[in-house]
Amino acid sequence: MNKTVSARTALTYKYLIIPGKTLFIAAILYLVLGCFAFFLSGVFLFWLLAGAGLVPFIAIDFFILLLLGDRLKTEREISSSLAQNESARVKLLIKRTYSKAKSKGRWLPNSIRLYDLYPDSMSASVFPVKLCAKAKDRKKFNACGTLVFEYNLTPEQRGPWFFSGTQIMLSSFLYFWRLRVTHRTISAGRTYPNFKQLAGGIKLNGNPEKGDIRQIRRRGQGMEFESLRDYQEGDSIRSIDWRATSRNRRLDGSPKLIVRNYQEEQDQQILFIIDSGYRLPDIQFDSALEAMLLFSYVALKHGDSVAAASFGAYNLWIPPRKGISAYTGLMNGLYDLHSAPVPSSPFSAIENALNHLHRRSFIILISNFREEDGESLSWILPRINKRHLLLMVSFSENEAEKLVLGDTHTNPESSQKSDDEILLTAAAYSYLANRRRLYKKWEHSGLLVLETSPAHISSALINKYLSVKKSGKL
């Protein structure tokens, strides 16, 4: 019974009378009996009497159900912020509409079924829930006037969600009729990407070959001065501050070596630009967006400011902000972003971004680049190299690589290939070679290039960022 998220569709009829199972069976039996009465005159009188006796019961059952009607109300408790693919607990409270003091002698319908109209973007446990059919359920209602039902929901898609209400199906005492009552129990909220790593903190270590984030060893002195400290074994001689050393002596009169302690440069600006057009399908786009948000968290923790933009299906610009509190704004601006099969121009997006930037920035452009993109970049490259550092992030072409690897490891016994297979493999070779050639050309022009898989894009991006910061390129 998980219908649509549209309140107008779900709440068209608040009350709806539906024939019950007993009425359907009785109608079938009465029809069969009428067939016999048509041929047998002795059965005809019995058929008339049965119909006359059945109608009052059907009518009385109908009016009793209307009389007992909507004596219940529902309330829903659910967090307004959920994580994608993370189970969430939903609590439904079913209450009587009258007080406990007045509840004695009040009846409830024979059977109550509860349906929660949760959005299509979520999956839930078994529905409907049957209540009040058992004596213990009725005792609970008579004792406290409230029943609590809990179930788990799993949000499967990012974006806003909306519960249009709950439906209660009431059955009459003889089960001739059912009354469907729709309660406007509305809940709304958002589903964000799931970041369990952020809750426990990010550890910048691990095995890079397995895709883990790692620390990059510092190269040179491209750091900001932080403090002075005593020399320790293993410190570089170049880090010794000779002026401070000349002013410090040990108790025995020998010089006490003092070294300069450096910290990473902060207050640098990072700009993400993500392609929401046809170049990034859903799976790659979701991985890229999650990597952007995870990267943003790390950059904000390092004291840098972060801006974000998208192009293609959605044109978005989030201005740069600094401080970990800015992460909430980034999440709310990007959590419901999706890709669509529409044209997109990465380098028009770069040109638009350059018009917004007023200081040197580390620009990270995430898309899938092709050979023809080389000419598009050539005219804007001098403008980028003059003030900014650009990282081009692209996903590896798994299908083309499988064709090439399959050709490399072909079994000699099954080496015979059709002409179409040979042409397809040759095209894959040519396509991958042209991409490699394009990436080398960009690197020689001073750009940074990163090709990775959707599973490892987060760690690859953060490692690249740490490497750039520690090398002093920014």
Based on the fold, state whether residues 273 and 155 are members of the same structural domain.
no
Q: Is the dihedral of CA 165, 89, 144, 60 positive or negative?
A: positive
Is residue 105 left, alpha or beta, with left meaning phi > 0 and alpha meaning psi from -120 to 50? Answer: left
132 and 175, same domain (yes or no): yes
pLDDT at 244 over 50: yes
Where is average pLDDT lowest: 29-33, 128-132, 308-312, 318-322? 128-132
Residues 156 and 237 in one domain: no
Q: CATH number of the domain at 341, please.
A: 3.40.50.410
With respect to residue 424, please indicate whether it lies within any of the assigned structural domains. yes
Average pLDDT over residues 425-429: 72
Same domain, 452 and 361: yes
Q: What is the pLDDT of residue 195?
A: 73
Beta carbons of 138 and 107 less than 8 angstroms apart:
no
Q: Which amino acid is at 107?
A: W
Dump pLDDT digits (tens) for 192-231.
988 765 444 444 443 433 444 444 444 334 455 556 677 7
Q: Which of 66-75, 202-211, 387-396 reaches the highest mean pLDDT?
A: 387-396
Q: What is the mean pLDDT of the chain?
A: 78
317 shares a domain with 259:
no
- Let me know: does 356 contact 320? Beta carbons within 8 Å: no
Last residue of a domain, one of 192, 211, 239: 192
Q: Which of 100-104, 178-182, 264-268 is modeled with the greatest confidence? A: 178-182
Q: Please give the pLDDT value at position 469.
A: 82
Question: Tell me, what's the pLDDT at 203?
Answer: 43
CA angle 135–139–145, rounded 5-degree value: 135
8 Å CB contact between 112 and 147: no
Inter-helix orientation angle 41-68/21-39, to 10°: 160
pLDDT exceeds cutoff 90 at 417:
no
The answer to which of 134-138, 180-184, 255-259, 457-461 has the lowest mean pLDDT is: 134-138
Q: What is the pLDDT of residue 150?
A: 86
Asked if residue 137 belongs to a domain, the reply is: yes
Instruction: Please give the angle made by the CA atoms of 6, 7 and 11, to the nearest 5 degrees.
Output: 125
Phi, psi of 193 (to 5 degrees): -60, 150
Q: Are 132 and 138 in contact (CB under 8 A)?
A: yes
pLDDT at 403 over 70: no
Give the domain extent around 232. 225-263
Q: Specify the range with the lowest mean pLDDT, choosing from 151-155, 208-212, 391-395.
A: 208-212
Q: Can you give the length of the chain in residues?
A: 474
Give me the sign of the Cα torsion angle 58, 64, 69, 71.
Answer: negative
Helices (H) and strands (E) in the chain — how many of each? 14, 20
Does residue 364 lie in a domain region?
A: yes
Looking at the structure of the chain, the number of domains it has is 3
Question: Residue 446: how many CB atoms within 10 A of its CB?
Answer: 12
- In angstroms, the CA 339 to CA 352 distance is 20
209 lies in some domain: no
Look at residue 2 and tell me if it is in a domain.
no
The answer to whether residues 188 and 240 belong to one domain is no
Closest CA to 312 of 357, 367, 252: 367
Shared-domain flag, residues 244 and 187: no
Task: Name the residue type at position 223.
Answer: M
My answer on whether 236 and 330 are in the same domain is no
CA angle 233, 238, 242 (to 5 degrees): 90
**What is the Cα–Cα distance from 117 to 162, expressed in whole angstroms?**
9
Say what the pTM is.
0.70
* Dihedral angle sign, alpha carbons of residues 417, 421, 425, 430: positive
Which residue did the predictor score with more confidence, 322 or 144? 322
Q: What is the mean pLDDT of residues 10-21?
A: 72
In the chain, % helix, strand, coil (3-state, to 5) comes to 40, 25, 35
404 has pLDDT over 50: yes
Confidence of residue 2 (pLDDT cuts 50, 70, 90): very low
Reported as type and span, the H/E element at residue 452 is strand 448-452
Where does a domain end: 263, 289, 316?
Answer: 263
Q: Residue 128: what pLDDT? A: 61
8 A C-beta contact, residue 192 and residue 82: yes
User: Is residue 73 within 8 Å of residue 14, measured between CB atoms?
Assistant: no
Q: Identify the CA nearest to 13 among candidates 24, 23, 3.
A: 3
Task: Answer yes or no: is 199 within a domain.
Answer: no
Q: State which of 143, 176, 192 marks the end of a domain.
A: 192
Quote the CA–CA distance of 350 and 365 in Å, as a whole number: 8
Going by pLDDT thresholds of 50, 70 and 90, the confidence category of residue 20 is confident
Dihedral sign from CA coordinates of 147, 125, 19, 179: positive
From the list 393, 202, 364, the residue with the least C-alpha distance to 270 is 364
15-19 and 177-183 beta bridge pairing:
antiparallel
Bigger pLDDT: 468 vs 227: 468
CATH number at residue 73: 2.60.40.10
Asked if residue 205 belongs to a domain, the reply is no
Q: What is the pLDDT of residue 190?
A: 93
* 251 plus 385 within the same structural domain: no
- 185 and 274 co-located in one domain: no
Asked whether residue 220 is domain-assigned, the answer is: no
Residues contacting residue 222 through CB under 8 Å, at least 6 positions apart: 265, 470, 471, 472
How is residue 208 annotated by DSSP? G
Residue bearing tokens 């007992």: 68
Give yes or no for residue 28 having a pLDDT over 50: yes
Predicted confidence at residue 221, as pLDDT, reads 42
Do 442 and 294 share a domain, yes or no?
Answer: yes
Taken in order 114, 116, 120, 125, the sign of the CA dihedral is negative
| 361 in the same domain as 256 | no
